[in-house]
């Protein structure tokens, strides 16, 4: 299938470019955030918080 406008392929056309999502607007984590994500003491706290959240959800939900 050919297109009438070479810049705008029509539906059904096979094109070689990949329509990769533009992620340039997604925020990148800062160095401090990356450190926190790997910090064992900080993550131990998050581990406890997440498990508490799961248990709260279990008791609150229709379980």
Partner 1 sequence: MADVVILGAGISGHTAALHLSRLLGRRGLGKKHTVTVVSPNSRWNWIPSNIWVGVGKLDKEDVVFPLQPVYDRKGIVFRQAKAVAIRPDGDIDDHRGAVDIEYTGQGKAGTPGQLRYDYLINATGPRLRFEATPGLGPDGHTVSVCTADHALEAAARLREVIKRLASGEEQTLVVGMGHGTCTCEGAAFEYVFNVDHELREAGVRDRARLVYLTNEAHLGDFGVDGMTFEQQGFQTSSELWTGSLFRERGVEAILGAHVEQVEEGLVRYETLDGLKHTLAFDFAMILPPFGGVPLAAYDREGIDITARLFAPSGFMKVDADYTAKPYEQWRAADWPSTYLAPGYDNVFAVGIAFAPPHQISRPQKSTNGTVIAPSPPRTGMPSGVMGKTAALTIVDRIKHGADAPAHQASMASMGAACVASAGHGLRSGSAAAMTMMPVVPDYVRYPSGRDLKDTRGEIGLSGHWVKLMLHYLFIYKAKGHPGWQLIPE
- Interface residues with partner 1 (CB under 8 A) are 9-21, 23-29, 36-40, 43-44, 46-47, 50-51, 53-58, 60-63
Residue 25 structure tokens: 């607007």
Instruction: State in angstroms the smallest separation of the CB of 48 from partner 1.
Output: 9
CB of 2 to partner 1, least distance (A): 14
| Shortest CB 29 distance to partner 1, Å | 6
Residues 31, 37, 42, 48, Cα dihedral to 10°:
160
- Interatomic CA distance for residues 31 and 38, integer angstroms: 11
């Amino acid at each position: 299938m050919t297109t009438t406008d070479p810049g705008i392929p029509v539906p059904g056309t096979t094109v070689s470019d990949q329509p990769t999502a533009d992620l340039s607007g997604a925020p990148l984590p800062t160095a401090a955030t990356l450190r926190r994500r790997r910090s064992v003491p900080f993550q131990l706290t998050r581990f406890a918080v997440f498990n508490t959240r799961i248990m709260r959800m279990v008791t609150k939900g229709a379980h």
